[in-house]
């Protein structure tokens, strides 16, 4: 029963569509009708509102972090379940007919709560990939694949399965990006579309 509570909590927190809420509140339109249609920070950036994009990253990461921290307090041992729930909630929010974001920022938040050392390595991989490619999806996919490997290498074996499941979800959500990368049509950071 505790696992169901942790999963439910994670899902509800994760499903709060901060990118959509912020862009509507500040008059940037319906985010789902812009760029990729995703509710995440990269698409918010396509509105030209860098401050809103930064706020979206922080809030999306924050809801993942909060889900894990609440689970640690109320249902110790089920932090990983809450973490997965938060990412699923972000990617497939019931309020938006299960069409959400890619899950990367929320995944970063749960990783930070589960093992901050892993987050440092994944963030370095993200920054390096972004600097080399200037493509958001490349940096996100690089970091999300590195995270479970880094967790294993650093001795955080209990969180490896959680991070591997989250990586699979985020990779699935990036399937259109992967297709565009293969076709050479994936937009670079700062480019419209």
Distance CA 41, CA 176 (A): 17
Q: How far apart are the first and last CA of the chain?
A: 44
Residue 90 lies in domain: 2-183
Distance CA 9, CA 5 (A): 6
pTM, rounded to two decimals: 0.91
Helices 79-91, 160-173: axis angle to 10 degrees equals: 0
Domain count, the chain: 1
Q: What is the pLDDT of residues 25-35, one digit of tens each?
A: 887 677 777 76
Q: What is the pLDDT of residues 127-181, one digit of tens each?
A: 999 999 999 889 999 999 999 999 999 999 999 999 999 999 999 999 999 999 9
Q: For residue 137, is it within any domain?
A: yes
Q: For residue 167, is it within any domain?
A: yes
């Amino acid at each position: 029963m505790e696992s169901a509570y942790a999963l439910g909590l994670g899902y509800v927190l994760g499903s709060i569509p901060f990118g959509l809420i912020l862009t509507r509140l500040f008059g940037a339109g319906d985010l789902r009708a812009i760029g990729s249609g995703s509710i995440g920070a990269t698409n918010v950036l396509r509105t030209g509102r860098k401050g809103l994009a930064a706020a979206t990253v922080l809030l999306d990461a924050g809801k993942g972090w909060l889900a894990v921290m609440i689970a640690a307090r109320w249902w110790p041992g089920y932090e990983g379940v809450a973490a997965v729930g938060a990412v699923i909630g972000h990617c497939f929010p019931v309020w938006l007919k299960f069409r959400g974001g890619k899950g990367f920022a929320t995944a970063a938040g749960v990783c930070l709560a589960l093992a901050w050392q892993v987050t440092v390595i994944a963030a370095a991989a993200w920054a390096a990939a972004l600097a080399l490619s200037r493509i958001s999806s490349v940096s996100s996919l690089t970091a999300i694949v590195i995270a479970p490997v880094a967790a294993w290498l650093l001795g955080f074996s209990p969180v490896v399965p959680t991070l591997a499941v989250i990586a699979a979800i985020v990779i699935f959500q990036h399937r259109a990006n992967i297709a565009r990368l293969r076709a050479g049509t994936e937009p670079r950071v700062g480019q419209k579309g």
